[in-house]
Amino acid sequence: MNNKKLMEKVMELDTQTLKTREQSARVMVQIAIIRKAFGVKNDETNKPVRDYEREIVLSDDDIKKEFNEYVAFWNRTKERNDMDKAKGFENQIYYFIEGVRFFNDNLADEFQKSIIVE
């Protein structure tokens, strides 16, 4: 992925004014997977951005493990019949998928198809 495009997205998420808890959760989940997938360090947003093709450092399997952790939390809250928390985790799953979609449409589509909302 082009490093400039990646860093623009990271900086856009990093500098948003967070007005709601929901917006905060969305930004935190998305920026976490994008930073982790490409190994973006915190101090990189304060430096000039170089134009080059940046390699992804997480494999699809690594990203799937991250996704499955969100799904596991969601399932546990549903099993405990804690529907408020379950809705929060469900939203985080969708935010995660949005974050992945930024750099891998196919994997995001796979995740989207794998979740069943009851």
Tens digits of per-residue pLDDT, 17-36?
999 999 999 999 999 999 99
84 pLDDT exceeds 70? Answer: yes
0.75 exceeded by pTM: yes
Mean pLDDT over all residues of the chain?
Answer: 95
Percent of the chain at pLDDT exceeding 70: 97
Question: What range does the domain containing 100 cover?
Answer: 3-114
32: left (phi over 0), alpha (psi -120 to 50) or beta: alpha
* Domain tally, the chain: 1
When pLDDT is cut at 50, 70 and 90, the band that residue 52 belongs to is very high
Contact 58, 80 (CB under 8 A): no
Q: What is the pLDDT of residue 46?
A: 87
Instruction: Scan for tokens 């940046």, then name that residue.
Output: 54
117 pLDDT exceeds 70? Answer: no
When pLDDT is cut at 50, 70 and 90, the band that residue 45 belongs to is confident
Number of CB atoms found within 10 A of residue 96's CB? 23
Contact 87, 39 (CB under 8 A): no
